[in-house]
Amino acid sequence: GGELSGDHISLEQTSETVFVEGPGELHFTSKPAAGADDPANTARIDVTWTRSMRFDNQQRTARVLGDVIAETRQGRDATVLRCDDLEMRFQSLGEITRVMPASDAERRALGEQEAIIDRLQRGGWTLDTMVARGDKAVFEAASFKADGAMPDTRVTLRGPVMTFDNATEALQIAGEGAMLIEDFREGGDSPRANADQPLPMVRMAGRGRTLFHWTGDCTFNAAVNDMVINHGVQMVHVGPDGQDPVKLDCRRFRADLEPTGGLAGWFSRNPPQPHIIGVYADGNVRLKGQGRTINTDHAHYTARNQRVRLDADDGRMTELINEADPTRPVRSQSFIWDLRTDRIELIRPGVQQMPVGRD
């Protein structure tokens, strides 16, 4: 069931709406659509606000305004969403088992309209979508160490509009935004593959901090385990020992991720801890780090075989510059880089075509 509390609560029987004026709290156990048959995917969600809340039973929606915080915690895993405006849509609604207004008069009014509460009984509370809006909208998911003091891993997302859609298992951030992936685990607990490889691209999933920024949009598709970022993409990775940062710029970035348990897990026991197993970067690609700069149009990294393919468009050249000798760049339309052996194969090398540069 659910618990609703606030300083001023009013109910309208005909329209089946509940309105809370001023600060309040809503607590309920959600059974996300994507994990409806898995009890482990249920989660208690605690929502607080400072301005108002309107709950519409007929439309199966709740609109919450003012310093909104929606959070869950299960064991060592926790998620928190902060925004100015949160809209929740449910596939089905559960029973509000406790309504706690502040005044005796409001308690008597609720007692006369208990039929409204009765009509809210629809089985489980099943979230369909959540839309968070606000200049300071932030979603954070973390898995903590055994003592609970510090996180092992943490993902922080920022953007003006965040849409969580359980039907499509997608999280979309519309507009300019940022994502910070932090991995503080010790070497034995964290995947170390790629951590010491020479190509900057493959270190973005390693331990340390990785920051993405974009000007277009970002979409996580939990159903197929991929992430797409569009327009003005910038990435910076700093390893756990604070070594020189690795930087990536491109127009479009796509990553294949290890399974995260679907979007249902994002608000239950399995907050996302993305491990990148494949990367595609397209459009004015520039990779810089570990003494190298690479300019190209397309870059594709595959973790399975530890190979990177770098391709320039027709009439252009991929360019690799070693900072120790920047006057002698290596140019070829395509490179195939075997990271296990540090062997580079040049495909259609030449010096007459125009090198790839930044627009």
**203: phi then psi, degrees, rounded to nearest 5:** -90, 0
Instruction: Tell me the DSSP string of 174-225.
Output: ESSEEEEEEE---TTTS--TTTT-SSGGGGGGSSEEEEEEESSEEEEETTTT
Q: Where are the alpha helices (DSSP H) in the chain?
A: 104-112, 114-119
Give tens-digit pLDDT for 307-335.
Answer: 889 999 998 999 999 888 888 898 999 98
Q: How far is CA 160 from the centre of its chain?
A: 13
Q: In the predicted model, is pLDDT for residue 74 greater than 60?
A: yes
| Token output for 237 | 């990775």
Whose tokens are 């595609």? That residue is: 280
Q: What is the pLDDT of residue 353?
A: 41
Cα gap 124→90, rounded to integer Å: 10
Pairing of strands 354-355, 316-322: parallel
Among 149-158, 159-168, 261-270, 272-281, the minimum mean pLDDT is found in 261-270
Supply the pTM of this predicted model: 0.79
Residue 229: band (very low, low, confident or very high) from pLDDT cuts 50, 70, 90: very high
| Token output for 227 | 């992430």
